[in-house]
Amino acid sequence: MFENGQQATVETADGGESASSFDLRFSQVKALLQKEFGETAFRSWIAPIDAVSCASGTLTLAVPTRFIRDWVKSHYADRIRSLWTQHFGAVARVDITISGKSAPKTAAAAPAGVAYEKPAIANENAAKEASAADFSVALDPRYTFENFVTGAPNEFAYAAARKIADNEKVSFNPLFLQGGVGLGKTHLMHAIAHAARAAGRKVAYMSAEKFMYDFVRALRFQDTMAFKARFRAVDVLMIDDIQFICGKDATQEEFFHTFNSLIDQGKQIVISADQSPADMDGLEERLRSRLSMGLVAAIHPTTYELRLGILQSKCALMKRDLPQDVLEFLAQKIASNVRELEGALNRLIAHAELVGRPVTIDTAQDLLADLLRANDRRTTIEDIQRKVCEHYGIRLADMHSPRRARPVARPRQLAMYLCKQLTTHSLPEIGRKFGGRDHTTIIHGVRKIEELLAGDPTLRSDLESLKKAIAA
Ligand code: ADP
Ligand code: MG
């Protein structure tokens, strides 16, 4: 039923309307689960779920393996049932079947009707034993280099990733991709994996959470030999979200040994984390220094231009059109990360499709109220004050105090200026947070900084780095 029903709809790009909106609905449930359970759980367990059908009060889903089925059943099935019921009508039960496909179709985040290429997944391990089938997590076929939009914040990381993918020879080891949530680490990692596999190299890609899960399981079944053995045949080992093993000593220890032995054999390793090795808490010293050994490539927060470019590229990929002013509105307002930006775009596209009308800025404002609010709230006056204090090495109390000595007064004015620029608070509101100052004092502070900026390059560069720190 699955193979010639849903699957065909998605891949031939001309499927029936009902199948499309069914897919869209399930993609919305997935998006909610992603928010609720976080990125790591999403990648490992939720992304691989396919929606098959919904009939007679039963929502039927399919996952690639028995292992994933058991996990989804015990961890997420209830929540899926209640989310579906809440948004799309009551279902009494959720059935999960095993599709047996090595690569789950990950159309969920995009509207149906889009043709995807089948990823080339080398899955020799799959047949050997049940656990080996789960060794390398399925790749998202959309996460390719071609679909990755580059700009100043990510071009270095992109170039490094390409180099790893294109070169048989190891040039730096490990490649450590560092960047905040939703900025494209996983995308780049999958892109490397796709390209390396296409070139015939054996790639194992998994989250650090899964590495740990498998390792703990191996310990429990006294099967660590087999656990280690599976890494032997690998040419490229990729571990996503390594921060997950911070503070988990036994796992770190095992990872350290796996890491060293692969490096010694000249195998390529690619790691990602939300922080650089130097900044990660709970990381063993020797592992920290090992991880810093290769190349640390940062993916910086997006710029407006990059966000707009990404939106345009996603529309082109999905063969959907949104008015340019709506795209600009999104790029302007949803600056937190690309995942949220993409979520917003998908929501608008889904809406346009369901109601059959083009989206306007007004509708966007309605449909995205929650996201817009969250993005607005992201920069608070307190955040700004804290960052400014850190930068200048003064105390937070100096932001509120009446002291007028220049070493505290100037940073305080800069903080006022940033609050005016980066938040939507009114001048009196800002004044209140600066020790109950009058709004005219805030205006004066803002003007003063504007004046100084014109002739003071140091202040300008302070301002730039503060803006970066605040946006991070
Ligand atoms: P991370 O792993 O850093 O949390 P992801 O790689 O999962 O982030 O990216 C989140 C989403 O944003 C993905 O759907 C990804 O395809 C998309 N994305 C991120 N950066 C880019 C980019 N530069 N171009 C295209 N899509 C991007
Ligand atoms: Mg990720």
Ligand nearest to the CA of 337: 1
Q: Does 153 sit in the ligand 1 pocket, CB within 6 Å?
A: no
What's the CA gap between 133 and 306, in Å, rounded?
37
Residue nearest to atom 14 of ligand 1 (CA): 339
The continuous run of DSSP H or E covering 209 comes out as helix 208-220
pLDDT of residue 388: 96
What confidence category does residue 378 fall into, taking pLDDT thresholds of 50, 70 and 90? low
Q: Looking at the domain assignment, is residue 323 inside a domain?
A: yes
Is omega for the bond preceding 48 within 30 degrees of 0, making it cis? no
| Domain match, 276 and 192 both | yes
Of the listed ranges 8-12, 155-159, 330-334, 407-411, the one predicted with least confidence: 8-12
For residue 156, give the DSSP letter: H
Q: Looking at the domain assignment, is residue 111 inside a domain?
A: no
pLDDT of residue 353: 86
pLDDT of residue 289: 92
Domain region containing 12: 3-98
| Domain match, 135 and 240 both | yes
Q: Does 343 sit in the ligand 1 pocket, CB within 6 Å?
A: no
Q: Which two tokens stand for residue 142?
A: 């959309």
Among residues of the chain, what percentage have pLDDT more than 70? Answer: 87
Q: Does 318 sit in the ligand 1 pocket, CB within 6 Å?
A: no
| Domain match, 190 and 318 both | no
Determine contact, residues 467/418, Cβ cutoff 8 Å: yes
- List the alpha helices (DSSP H) in 292-405: 304-318, 324-333, 338-355, 361-367, 369-377, 381-392, 397-400
pLDDT(17) > 60 = no
Non-local (6+) Cβ contacts of 142 within 8 A are 106, 110, 116, 317
Among residues of the chain, what percentage have pLDDT more than 90? Answer: 53
pLDDT(2) > 50 = no
Give pTM, 2 decimals. 0.60
What confidence category does residue 452 fall into, taking pLDDT thresholds of 50, 70 and 90? very high
Q: Looking at the domain assignment, is residue 186 inside a domain?
A: yes
Q: Looking at the domain assignment, is residue 110 inside a domain?
A: no
Residue nearest to atom 5 of ligand 1 (CA): 184
Q: Does 30 sit in the ligand 1 pocket, CB within 6 Å?
A: no
Q: How far is the CA of 450 from the centre of ligand 2 (A)?
A: 39
Determine contact, residues 137/106, Cβ cutoff 8 Å: no
DSSP E strand boundaries for 40-173: 50-55, 58-63, 93-98
What confidence category does residue 125 fall into, taking pLDDT thresholds of 50, 70 and 90? very low
Of the listed ranges 10-19, 47-56, 246-255, 386-395, the one predicted with least confidence: 10-19
Q: How far is the CA of 193 from the centre of ligand 1 (A)?
A: 15
Q: How far is the CA of 323 from the centre of ligand 1 (A)?
A: 22
Q: How far is CA 184 from CA 105, 113, 178, 312, in A?
A: 20, 24, 10, 16
pLDDT tens column, 231-284:
888 999 999 999 999 988 888 998 999 899 889 998 999 999 999 999 888 899
Residue nearest to atom 16 of ligand 1 (CA): 187
| Domain match, 72 and 144 both | no
| Domain match, 266 and 317 both | no
Q: Looking at the domain assignment, is residue 108 inside a domain?
A: no
Q: How far is CA 124 from CA 79, 134, 144, in A?
A: 34, 12, 22
pLDDT of residue 108: 35
Q: Looking at the domain assignment, is residue 395 inside a domain?
A: yes
For residue 59, give the DSSP letter: E
pLDDT of residue 422: 79
pLDDT(372) > 80 = yes
Ligand 1 nearest atom to the CA of residue 143, by list position: 16
The continuous run of DSSP H or E covering 464 comes out as helix 457-471
Angle at 355 between CA 46 and CA 27, to 5 degrees: 5
pLDDT(102) > 80 = no
Could you tell which of 145, 188, 339 is best to mutate to test the pocket of ligand 1, judged by most ligand atoms within 8 Å of the CB? 339
The upper half-sphere exposure of residue 223, i.e. CA atoms within 13 Å in the direction of its Cβ, equals 13
Neighbours of 120 (CB within 10 A): 15
Q: Is the dihedral of CA 197, 238, 135, 38 positive or negative?
A: negative
pLDDT of residue 112: 30
User: What is the CATH number for 270?
Assistant: 3.40.50.300
User: What is the CATH number for 44?
Assistant: 3.30.300.180
| Domain match, 337 and 286 both | no
Q: Which two tokens stand for residue 18?
A: 């009902």
* Tally of domains within the chain: 4
Q: Does 179 sit in the ligand 1 pocket, CB within 6 Å?
A: yes
Q: How far is the CA of 345 from the centre of ligand 1 (A)?
A: 13
Q: How far is the CA of 182 from the centre of ligand 1 (A)?
A: 6
Ligand 1 nearest atom to the CA of residue 184, by list position: 6
Q: Does 143 sit in the ligand 1 pocket, CB within 6 Å?
A: yes
Of the listed ranges 80-84, 334-338, 373-377, the one predicted with least confidence: 373-377
Non-local (6+) Cβ contacts of 415 within 8 A are 384, 385, 388, 399, 434
